[in-house]
């Protein structure tokens, strides 16, 4: 069985809505929102970044918030109760500037401050400090050669409790809002999240699940231990979900920065074989380079540069491409042009741009 082909097939359902696709991906990494828009659109024929933006800011079927690993993700709004129920149950990471009682006060203050309005981070600083007390505004948190207010160390925890998410930008300024979601019961939420994760990434193990969430392996093992699973080669899958293609995936794809398929698929050595490990990973971390996939395996990197309506896509394959692969690559570049509403051109050559941080 080819589990990698199964993962790819499930990550690219080719039908449904942007929210359906993000659910199939088990969340879309959105630290770079334009990359998330491209990730989602590449999985839906005829979809552009405008459609993803409408789902996010107009229909609100997608929510931009802090997801797995405390990083910014797009999540289906309909699944927020599950996500917040599971993420809020994770053992807290490093929050050394706040006591447990202060964390609770911050979460309450954030929920009140953002109720029925969107605030910039500076406005939220003022509001949280006014509600929780002056201690919340103490500038003691190290950040980018400056100091942030103490309360901000709990920003991702407030999101995981369901009282903070991203709102539409106000000019160039990011805003935050209260999505008004009540986290689901932690045990049932953990079970549902594991089920969704294994559907997208299985077979997997507690170690990989823990890595995907940035959670303790003991915690992940407990969630696995309570679930109905089948053991197969490579790990566990949801009970009864043991089918996979016999043949590898076929075709050429371009995936942007931090695409969920690249970040979440394990064992990583199988997706990044040979020279791909050194060229397309950054200190063994996936997603820092946009990648070229050939037959479901990383086979190069790529970069895009935009100037007005012109989009130059440079692809650096690890091996010489066949005429068929070049034709498929050209189609992928054309599709990216459609999504980004630009006129694209393809160049095969060396890329000097380093990995994204």
Find out whether 41 and 283 touch, Cβ atoms under 8 Å. no
pLDDT the model gives residue 166: 98
> Which pLDDT belongs to residue 357?
79
pLDDT score for 111: 98
What percent of the chain is predicted at pLDDT more than 90?
97
Q: What are residue 99's DSSP bridge partners?
A: none
Residue range 71-85, pLDDT digits in tens: 999 999 999 999 999
Q: pLDDT for 208-252, tens place per residue?
A: 999 999 999 999 999 999 999 999 999 999 999 999 999 999 999
Mean pLDDT, rounded, for 262-274: 96
Residue 35: the pLDDT is 97
Return the pLDDT at 170: 96
321-346 per-position pLDDT tens digit: 999 999 999 999 999 999 999 999 99
Kindly tell me if the per-residue pLDDT of 191 is higher than 90: yes
The mean per-residue pLDDT over the stretch 297-304 comes to 98
User: In CATH, what number does 94-182 get?
Assistant: 1.10.10
Asked if residues 37 and 49 have their Cβ atoms less than 8 Å apart, the reply is: yes
Q: Say whether pLDDT at 181 is over 90.
A: yes
Give residue for tokens 């996010």. Answer: 56
Examine the pLDDT at 153 and tell me if it is beyond 80: yes
Using CA atoms, how far residue 271 sits from 103, 215, 228, 256, in Å, is 40, 23, 27, 16
58 Cβ contact partners less than 8 Å away, ≥ 6 residues apart:
none
Give the chain's mean pLDDT.
96
Strand ranges (E), 130-232:
139-143, 146-149, 165-170, 173-177, 229-232
Helix (H, G, I), strand (E, B) or coil at 281: coil
Per-residue confidence (pLDDT) for residue 141, from 0 to 100:
95
Q: What pLDDT is stored for residue 92 in this prediction?
A: 74
Strands (E), the chain: 28-29, 62-66, 72-76, 119-120, 139-143, 146-149, 165-170, 173-177, 229-232, 235-238, 252-255, 291-294, 297-307, 310-317, 343-348
Q: What pLDDT, on a 0 to 100 scale, did the predictor assign at position 282?
A: 95
Among 37, 38, 8, which Cα is nearest to 24's? Answer: 8
Whether the CB-CB separation of 292 and 254 falls below 8 Å is answered with yes
Total-model pTM: 0.95
Alpha-carbon distance of 270 to 194, in angstroms, equals 22
Give the model's confidence band at 9: pLDDT under 50 very low, under 70 low, under 90 confident, else very high: very high
pLDDT digits (tens, 9 = 90+) for 84-121: 999 999 987 778 899 999 999 999 999 999 999 999 99
Q: What is the pLDDT of residue 19?
A: 98
Answer yes or no: are the C-beta atoms of 200 and 26 closer than 8 Å.
yes
């Amino acid at each position: 069985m080819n589990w990698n082909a199964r993962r790819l097939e499930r990550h690219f359902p080719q039908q449904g809505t942007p929210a359906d696709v993000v659910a199939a991906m088990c969340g879309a990494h959105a630290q770079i929102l334009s990359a998330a828009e491209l990730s989602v659109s590449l999985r839906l024929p005829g979809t552009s970044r405008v459609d993803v933006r409408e789902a996010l800011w107009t229909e609100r079927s997608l929510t931009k918030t802090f997801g797995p690993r405390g990083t910014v993700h797009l999540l289906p709004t309909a699944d927020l109760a599950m996500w917040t129920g599971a993420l809020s149950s994770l053992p807290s990471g490093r929050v050394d500037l706040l006591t447990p009682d202060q964390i609770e006060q911050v979460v309450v203050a954030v929920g009140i401050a953002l109720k029925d309005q969107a605030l910039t981070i500076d406005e939220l600083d003022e509001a949280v400090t006014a509600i929780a007390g002056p201690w919340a505004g103490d500038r003691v948190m190290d950040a980018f050669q400056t100091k942030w207010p103490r309360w901000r160390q709990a920003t991702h925890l407030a999101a995981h409790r369901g009282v903070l998410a991203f709102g539409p930008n106000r000019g160039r300024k990011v805003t935050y809002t209260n999505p008004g979601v009540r986290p689901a019961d932690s045990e049932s939420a953990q079970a549902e999240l594991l089920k969704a994760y294994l559907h997208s990434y299985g077979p997997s193990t507690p170690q990989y699940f823990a890595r995907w969430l940035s959670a303790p392996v003991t915690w992940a093992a407990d969630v696995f231990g309570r679930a109905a699973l089948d053991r197969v080669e490579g790990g566990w899958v949801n009970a009864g979900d043991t089918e996979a293609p016999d043949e590898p995936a076929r075709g050429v794809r371009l995936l942007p920065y931090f695409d969920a398929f690249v970040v979440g698929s394990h064992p990583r050595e199988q997706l990044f074989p040979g020279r791909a490990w050194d060229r397309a990973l950054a200190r063994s971390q996936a997603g820092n380079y946009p990648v070229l996939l050939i037959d479901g395996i990383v086979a190069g990197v790529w970069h895009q540069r935009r100037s007005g309506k012109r989009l130059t896509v440079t692809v650096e394959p690890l091996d010489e491409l066949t005429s068929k692969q070049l034709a498929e690559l050209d189609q992928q570049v054309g599709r990216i042009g459609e999504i980004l509403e630009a006129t694209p051109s393809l160049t095969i050559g060396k890329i000097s741009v380093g990995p994204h941080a």
